[in-house]
Every structure is written in structure tokens, then in C-alpha cells.
Amino acid sequence: MKAISRRAALEMFVAAPAAAALVWTPAEARQAHEHAEAAKVAAPAAPFKPKFFTAHEYATVSVLVDLIIPKDERSGSATDAGVPAFMDFMMIDQPRRQVAMRGGLAMIDRLAIDRFGKRFVSGTDRERRSLLDEIAYTSNPDRGLSQAIAFFSSFRDLTASGFWSTKMGIADLQYQGNVFVSEWTGCPDAALKKLGVRYDV
């Protein structure tokens, strides 16, 4: 499959009969500009300061996400990928998530104090893992921890969203798309063979 260069793609844009005859008012042009600007990510300058999480919550989140997605031979950890900052952004962007997040983190501390007398972040790696072993598995027998298991499931989902959607995560998954292709030739022989399918000739 042949990829088209960005330059060729841009030339295609120009050649295409865009709705160029549309007359834009200054207000409309400004609105379009604002839309475009809003989608750009500001380059991180100062150290990150959470807008939603307290310092303690942020520390807890940072420990949790790396327990969920640790560094391994193929890619870095969730904190390497900036997942805690992503979560903080989402809490402000989708405020309906706030109560469940705040309450879930408080519940984890409560469970930690019950089990090893300290808040979650102050536990040893072994203590933290023993707590996760109780709440990270939806297949665990019901021992009165259903709310903690539900919270952890949704926290795990958000961690996955934040990790796999980064450059690092996408490269790890070997996603090959989002490119300009001049001719669609279907899928390669190796992929066909693995699935046991073929194109009719």
C-alpha cells in the first residue's frame, strides 16, 4: 500500500473544489480559528499542577496507574505516558465523573488503613498489591467489596484510555493507520493467512 506524502496531500486539498466561494464574516473566521486553537495541546512549560486532584489524591493516582500499567520491555509506564495529568483533565472536562473518583480514592485509603494501618500510598509495594489483589479482579468472590471492585474497573478503563491513546501506547500496539493511502489494496497475505481467509480470484 502506497502512502502519499503530506505535501501531496496538501496539494490535493488545494486542488479540491473547496467550498471556497463561501464568504466568511470576521466573526465566523474567528470562531473557526478558536475551534482550531482549542484542539492544540499547549506545550508543558511549568511542572504540572492538578486542577482537580489534591496533592495526596494525585500521589495515590500516580501509584495506582503504574500498578495497573507498569513499564515493560515494550513501552513505559502509565506515569511515563502522563496518565495522571490526563485523568486530572478529564475530571474537569467531564465533571460527572468527579464524585465517583474522589469517593473511590477515599475508599481505597479506608481499605488500606483497615488492612495495614496506613493510607494506600504509604504502604509497601507488597501491601499495596495485596489490596489490589482483593479489588482488581471482577471474578473475585463477593466479600463486601463490590463498590471497590466497580471503582477499580472504571479507574482501570480510564488508565487504559490515557495510556494507549498516547504516542507511546499507539506505537506499542503497532497501529499502522491514520496515513494517506493512494491505493487501497486490502490486507497483506500474512494477515489473510493468519485468519484463514482469502480474496476470491
Partner 1 sequence: MQVIRTPKTYDVCIVGSGAGGGMAAKVLCEAGADVVMLEAGGMWDSAKDSKMSAWPYDSPRRGAATPTKPFGEFDGCIGGWDIEGEPYTQAAGSQFDWFRGRMLGGRTNHWGRISLRMGPDDFKRRSLDGIGDDWPITYDEIKPFYDKLDRLVGIFGSMEGIPNEPDGVFQPPPKPRCYELLIKQAADKLKITCIPNRLSILTQPLNGRPACHYCGQCGRGCATHANFSSPSVLLPPALATGKLKIITNAMAREVLTDESGLCTGVSYVNRADRRDYAVRARIVVLAASACETARLMLNSTSGRFPDGLANSSGVVGRYLTDSTGLGVGGHIPAMERGVPHNEDGTGGAHLYMPWWLDNKKLDFPRGYHIELGGGKHSAPGFGFMGGIQRFNGVGGYGKSLKDDYRRFYGATVNFAGRGEMIPNEHTYCEIDPSVVDSYGIPVLRFHAKFSEHEINQAKHMQETFREIIHEMGGTPLSPMPSREALYGLEPVGRIIHEVGTTRMGSDPHTSVLNANCQAHDVKNLFVADAGPFVSNAHKNCTWTILALAMRTSEFIAQQRNQGTL
Stretch that binds partner 1, among 53-61, 68-76, 102-110, 115-123 (CB under 8 A): 68-76
Q: Is 83 in the site for partner 1 (CB under 8 A)?
A: no
- For 50, 126, 194, the CA distances from 122, given in Å and listed in that order, are 20, 11, 48
Q: Is 108 in the site for partner 1 (CB under 8 A)?
A: no
CA pseudo-torsion sign 166, 170, 171, 173:
positive
**Residue 155 CB coordination number (10 Å):** 22
The smaller minimum CB distance to partner 1, of residues 126 and 198, is found at: 198
In whole angstroms, how close is the CB of 25 to partner 1 at the nearest point? 8
Q: Which of 48, 51, 56, 137 binds partner 1 (CB under 8 A)?
A: 137
CB 55 within 8 A of CB 130: no
Q: Is 176 in the site for partner 1 (CB under 8 A)?
A: yes
For residue 3, what are the β-bridge partners? 181
CB 4 within 8 A of CB 182: yes
Q: Which of 20, 43, 99, 201 binds partner 1 (CB under 8 A)?
A: 20
- For 17, 18, 24, 186, the CA distances from 21, given in Å and listed in that order, are 9, 8, 9, 37
Q: Is 41 in the site for partner 1 (CB under 8 A)?
A: yes
Q: Is 142 in the site for partner 1 (CB under 8 A)?
A: no
Stretch that binds partner 1, among 35-43, 47-55, 102-110, 111-119 (CB under 8 A): 35-43
Residue 168, judged by CB atoms within 10 A of its CB (0-12, 13-18, 19+), counts as middle
Q: Is 171 in the site for partner 1 (CB under 8 A)?
A: no
Q: Is 132 in the site for partner 1 (CB under 8 A)?
A: yes
Q: Which of 46, 142, 144, 199 binds partner 1 (CB under 8 A)?
A: 199
The smaller minimum CB distance to partner 1, of residues 54 and 140, is found at: 140
The C-alpha cell that represents 122 in the structure block: 504509604
